[in-house]
Amino acid sequence: MTADELRSKYIEFFKTKGHAQIQGKSLIPENDPTVLFTTAGMHPLVPYLLGEDHPAGKRLVDYQKCIRTGDIDSVGDPSHLTFFEMLGNWSLGDYFKEGAIEMSFEFLTSPQWLGIPVEKLAVTVFKGEGDVERDDESAAVWKRMGIPENRIAYLPREDNWWGPAGATGPCGPDSEMFYYVGDAPCGYDCKPGCSCGKWLEIWNDVFMQYNKDAGGNYVPLERKCVDTGMGIERTVTILNGKTSVYDTEIFAPIIAAVTAPIPGGYTYGACPDKDRSIRIISDHIRSATFILGDPKAVSPSNVGAGYVLRRLIRRAVRHGHKLGITGNWLPPIAAAVVEKFAGSYPELESGRAFIMEELEKEGRKFYETLQKGEHEFEKMLPNLLKNPKKIMSGRLAFKLYDTYGFPIELTEELAAENGMKVNREEFDEAFKKHQELSRAGGDQAFKGGLADHSEITTRYHTATHLLQKALRMVLGDHVAQKGSNITAERMRFDFSHGAPMTKEEIKKVEDIVNGAIKADLPVTVQVMSLDEAKNAGAIALFGEKYENQVKVYTMGKSPLDYFSKEVCGGPHVSHTGELGKFAIQKEQSSSAGIRRIRAVLS
């Protein structure tokens, strides 16, 4: 059975049981700051689970795209994914435990629907805790359906309690359904829910009986609801006799697209280590494609959902690098995802161009960072391996981050591959000091939009001086900086100008900046009064309030023979030749009379 067939059968079954089909929602939750992504099928329905009337009625069914990254380190094993599809049916104050379990059992075992043998099924129920009693009611229904006592496990809150999507919201005990994929128990106490790999969870009936309030109290709901969820990928796996979600038709075209650019050709299944990297890339780029293709799409960034997206893309690039893949290889994988899923999620086709553009940009930028960071790690490795405790200091990990923009998560991954751990507490302490030092650098640095004072951001900050001078040379002296935002990946520069720049103007500005870089001009600093600075020809920042004494940075051969002279709070490189090649990625409107340039150094 294919994923498309399972999706259709599920919707059809519950329609015969009086459920109205509703549309799945965006991956980006609406008006909910507690979570970054839709993590479960019930998430968009929280208001209705809390008591609001749904316009479609009391019985609902749909399929929903979801993202969860809590188990990201497990992705690549047979069952874990960051993006997954959830089939769900709901009762909003209609049927409760008995009705939900009876329908779940019928859909799973009836020859008309999935036809799973009863002897292959097992379930778990809540064992009780605090004021909530053991769920004997659910257990009794399962027994009546034909599940024997030895296939029913009573598990604690951590296993059989569904908490709210965020800090507050509807919650309650659940009953989970498992498929037995092993021939024998792993040991004396092996039972449904055991993490040994013999049991694969495929469905979950959640009985929403409580609302967790801001004080952490569980308040009984006036209207009891049912929220169920069946994972498409896992169910397709067991229906086709597979042992891994990655061995299904769902991933076949995606894995083919991943293996295609591997140098020398590679057949999936030939090497466990390479296969794990292929699975991670397949999952992460599928996830990234759905995030970028969402109607509320976010771009890669350093905060919130954009950071999760960036981490997924970068982790995929890193594993592609391990496989020896080079070039612009991410878009073809995304294309395979779009072609596979656009029938059910047409927004992917609508967003195809944006998906490809963002993946290409982020992949290209990070590949350069990756090469530098991994090269430095390899240089450190011989000394690191001499440490009998096999612990990499947080100070060294921070150096990779601060100097090369190398994410701590990838440093931890590289360390783990070499049998080591990173002292994360030491890293976090160094990072905190780094932030405090940046803040102590004065308001000017932050008004200038500088994220930190690392080597990379220092280069970008220095380049803004060259950019402003080049813009004034090409567009006129009316150009003045109106804001900037600088990170280790790029610069964003706002300036006063009343019209879009032409391609020719953009090219001239790039050439002027790169000419100043090629000239390897010395960068010098003098401290003087603001009046002295202005008399010397220095440009001061927009509307800035300065101290009596200011720093003036000059880029040129002498105080009289210079390219740029500006009042600034720092930091800067010592010679422009350190900046690398400058390229403008985008020029667009920021607000009325203000233009914005996004540029990178390579």
Q: What is the pTM of this model?
A: 0.66
| Amino acid, single-letter form, for residue 73 | D
For residues 407 and 426, membership in a common domain is answered with yes
Looking at the structure, tell me whether residues 167 and 268 fall in a common domain.
no
Asked if residue 377 belongs to a domain, the reply is no
The mean pLDDT value for 159-181 works out to 84
Residue 566 lies in a domain: yes
Band of residue 31 on the pLDDT scale cut at 50, 70, 90: low
Distance (Å) of CA 348 to CA 67, 295, 333, 491: 16, 9, 13, 29
- Alpha helix (H) residue ranges in 476-585: 503-518, 530-535
Which structural domain, as residue segments, surrounds residue 421? 387-440
Q: Residue 372: what pLDDT?
A: 84
Q: What is the pLDDT of residues 389-400, one digit of tens each?
A: 899 999 899 988
Mean pLDDT of the region 189-202: 76
In a domain, 373, yes or no: no
Per-residue pLDDT at 233 exceeds 50: yes
Q: How confident is the model at residue 258 (pLDDT cuts 50, 70, 90)?
A: very high
Distance CA 309, CA 291 (A): 7
Please return the burial class of 17, using the count of CB atoms within 10 Å of its CB with bins 0-12, 13-18 and 19+: middle
Residue 15 lies in a domain: yes
> 71 and 141 share a domain?
yes
Rounded Cα distance between 440 and 450, Å, is 13
Answer yes or no: do 104 and 209 share one domain.
yes
Average per-residue pLDDT for the chain: 87
Same domain, 234 and 182: yes
pLDDT digits (tens, 9 = 90+) for 346-365: 999 999 999 999 999 999 88
Based on the fold, state whether residues 38 and 129 are members of the same structural domain: yes
Residue 478: pLDDT over 80: yes
Q: Domains in the chain: how many in total?
A: 4
Name which of 265, 420, 311, 427 is nearest 75 in CA terms: 311
Examine residue 57 and state whether it is found in any structural domain, yes or no. Answer: yes
Q: Is the pLDDT of residue 445 over 60?
A: no
What is the reported pLDDT for 166?
Answer: 63
Mean pLDDT of 269-291: 96
Residue 186 pLDDT > 70, yes or no?
A: no
Classify residue 584: in a domain, yes or no. Answer: yes
96 and 154 inside one domain: yes
Whether residues 76 and 153 fall in one domain? yes
Instruction: Say how far apart CA 586 and CA 99 lie, in whole Å.
Output: 56
Q: Judge contact between 410 and 375, C-beta under 8 A.
A: no
The span from the CA of 392 to the CA of 597, in Å, is 39
Which of 40-44, 493-497, 514-518 has maximum average pLDDT? 514-518
Q: Are residues 323 and 436 in the same domain?
A: no
Contact status, residue 228 vs residue 206, Cβ threshold 8 Å:
yes
CATH number of the domain where residue 568 is located: 3.30.980.10
Residues 18 and 109 in one domain: yes
Q: Look at residue 591 and give its three-state secondary structure.
A: strand
Q: What is the mean pLDDT of residues 406-433?
A: 89
- Flag whether pLDDT at 284 surpasses 60: yes
Average pLDDT over residues 550-568: 85
pLDDT at 277 over 70: yes
Question: If you average pLDDT over each of 342-356, 444-458, 516-530, which comes out highest?
Answer: 342-356
- Nearest CA to 38 out of 24, 26, 54, 21 is that of 26
DSSP H or E segment with residue 524: strand 523-529
DSSP-derived pairing of the beta strands 549-556 and 523-529: antiparallel
What's the average model confidence in pLDDT over 203-230? 88
Point out the domain boundary residue: 201, 219, 242. 242
Q: Using 50, 70 and 90 to split pLDDT, how confident is the model at 137?
A: very high
| pLDDT confidence of residue 448 | 39
pLDDT band at 443 (very low <50, low <70, confident <90, very high): very low
Please indicate, yes or no, if residue 374 is contained in any of the structural domains.
no
**73-124 tens-digit pLDDT:** 889 888 789 999 999 999 999 999 999 999 999 999 999 999 999 999 999 9
Three-state SS at 251 = coil
Q: Are residues 402 and 277 in the same domain?
A: no
Beta bridge partners of 600: 583
The verdict on 259 and 363 lying in the same domain is yes
Q: Which CATH number characterizes residue 30's domain?
A: 3.30.930.10
The residue that leads in pLDDT, 337 or 458, is 337
Per-residue confidence at 437, pLDDT binned at 50, 70, 90? low
Q: Does any domain span residue 378?
A: no
> Which of 206-220, 361-375, 445-459 comes out lowest in average pLDDT?
445-459
